[in-house]
């Protein structure tokens, strides 16, 4: 069963990074995991890096690095004092650096807060989060840093497709549930072709789709030895998964990122949309 030994926590010293601290601490304490703080200084654009500006701005880059290093050393130092871990200052593309360090350090989870920004910073940060969600080989935990957060996770929603990756996602959710003694509901939204959403999707076809998905997920649950309640419907995955999380008052949403096509399409394309709209933290596996 998957375990969390090392958590990578990319930070930018913003209020949302501070707000994500308790979430990181809760996971680290439950799993006795090491926390690695990573701050990435973006590289200068190529056309500026090619210019020799040292005579005009002496020591400016060095001063920036020194200030960033100092901030890194003091960031959440009291809140995370009881947790082992590294503090790393890197330079380059934020998304690429996060992915590279996650692999090099053998991290088991990446925690990244989302939203709570003005339009420009939301665009920049959103592109970083979207790339990490798309390319990371390990689970990624995202969430609105401004949303209410409780250290007591009692209700987990596990949203999966019916592909081969669903067993991995369910196992991950099961591990979290065991640590927090939480109740889990398995959710699946069979995707209806977009053109069909404008009309009534034939009732028999809808029922057949739901019935088939239920049978498949019962088999998966049997294989991974879980027996959770299931909520299965046909519709729009991103919209309906978030709606289910709201209706069930979930404390945590675990979703799969496997890739499939057609009616049984996975949640890969909807991962960022779900993470941005979810009322609770989202772990995408």
Report which of 87, 86, 111, 90 is spatially closest to residue 42, judged by C-alpha positions: 90
Q: Tell me the two tokens of residue 225.
A: 């030895």
What does residue 77 show for φ and ψ, rounded to 5 degrees? -65, -30
Residue with tokens 């209806």: 192
Q: Which residues contact 174 (CB under 8 A, 6 or more apart)?
A: 1, 184, 224, 226
Query: So what CATH class is 155-284?
Result: alpha beta
Contacts of 13 (CB under 8 A, 6+ apart): 39, 71, 75
10: left (phi over 0), alpha (psi -120 to 50) or beta: beta
- What digits encode the pLDDT tens for the residues 23-58? 899 999 999 999 999 999 987 554 444 445 544 444
Examine domains 6-144 and 155-284 and report if their fold is the same. yes
Domain positions in the chain are: 6-144, 155-284
Q: What angle do CA 70, 75, 81 make, to 5 degrees?
A: 115
3 state DSSP class of 191: strand
pTM of this prediction? 0.83
Q: How many Å apart are CA 159 and CA 278, to the nearest integer? A: 12
Axis crossing angle, helix 94-104 with helix 119-135, rounded to the nearest 10: 30
pLDDT (0 to 100) of residue 119: 43
CATH of 6-144, picked from 3.40.50.720, 3.40.50.620, 3.40.640.10, 3.50.50.60, is: 3.40.50.620
CA distances from 170 to 34, 84, 285 (A): 24, 29, 9
8 Å CB contact between 132 and 98: yes
DSSP H helices in 141-231: 166-180, 203-224
| pLDDT for res 16 | 83
Write down the pLDDT at residue 191: 81
pLDDT of the chain, 285 residues: tens digit per residue: 467 899 999 998 888 888 889 889 999 999 999 999 999 998 755 444 444 554 444 456 677 788 888 889 899 988 888 888 899 999 999 999 999 999 999 999 999 877 544 444 445 556 788 889 889 999 999 887 666 666 789 999 999 988 888 999 999 999 999 999 999 999 999 887 665 554 556 777 788 889 999 999 999 999 999 999 999 998 888 899 999 999 999 999 999 875 544 434 445 557 777 887 888 999 999
Query: For all residues of the chain together, what is the average pLDDT?
Result: 82
Contact indicator for 1, 171 with CB cutoff of 8 Å:
yes
Q: Strand 282-284 and strand 140-144: pairing?
A: antiparallel
Maximal CA-CA distance, the chain: 75
């Amino acid at each position: 069963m998957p375990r969390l030994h090392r958590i990578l926590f990319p930070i930018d010293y913003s209020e949302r990074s501070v707000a994500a601290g308790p979430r990181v601490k809760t996971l680290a304490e439950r799993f006795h995991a090491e926390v690695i703080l990573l701050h990435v200084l973006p590289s200068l654009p190529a056309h500026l890096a090619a210019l020799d500006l040292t005579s005009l701005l002496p020591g400016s880059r060095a001063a920036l690095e020194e200030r960033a290093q100092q901030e890194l050393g003091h960031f959440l130092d009291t809140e995370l004092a009881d947790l082992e871990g590294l503090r790393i200052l890197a330079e380059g593309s934020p998304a690429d650096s996060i992915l590279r360090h996650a692999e090099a350090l053998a991290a088991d989870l990446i925690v990244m807060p989302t939203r709570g920004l003005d339009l420009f910073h939301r665009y920049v940060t959103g592109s970083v989060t979207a790339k990490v969600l798309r390319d990371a080989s390990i689970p990624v935990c995202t969430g609105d840093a401004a949303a209410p957060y409780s250290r007591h996770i009692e209700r987990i929603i596990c949203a999966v497709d019916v592909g081969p990756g669903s067993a991995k996602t369910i196992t991950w959710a099961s591990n979290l549930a065991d640590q927090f003694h939480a109740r889990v509901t398995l959710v699946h939204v069979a995707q209806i072709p977009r053109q069909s959403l404008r009309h009534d999707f034939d009732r028999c076809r809808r029922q057949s789709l739901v019935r088939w998905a239920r049978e498949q997920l019962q088999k998966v649950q049997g294989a991974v030895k879980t027996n959770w309640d299931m909520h299965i419907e046909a519709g729009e995955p991103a919209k309906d998964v978030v709606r289910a999380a709201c209706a069930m008052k979930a404390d945590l949403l675990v979703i799969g990122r496997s890739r499939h096509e057609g009616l049984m399409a996975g949640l890969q394309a909807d991962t960022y949309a779900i993470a941005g709209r979810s009322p609770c933290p989202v772990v995408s596996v």
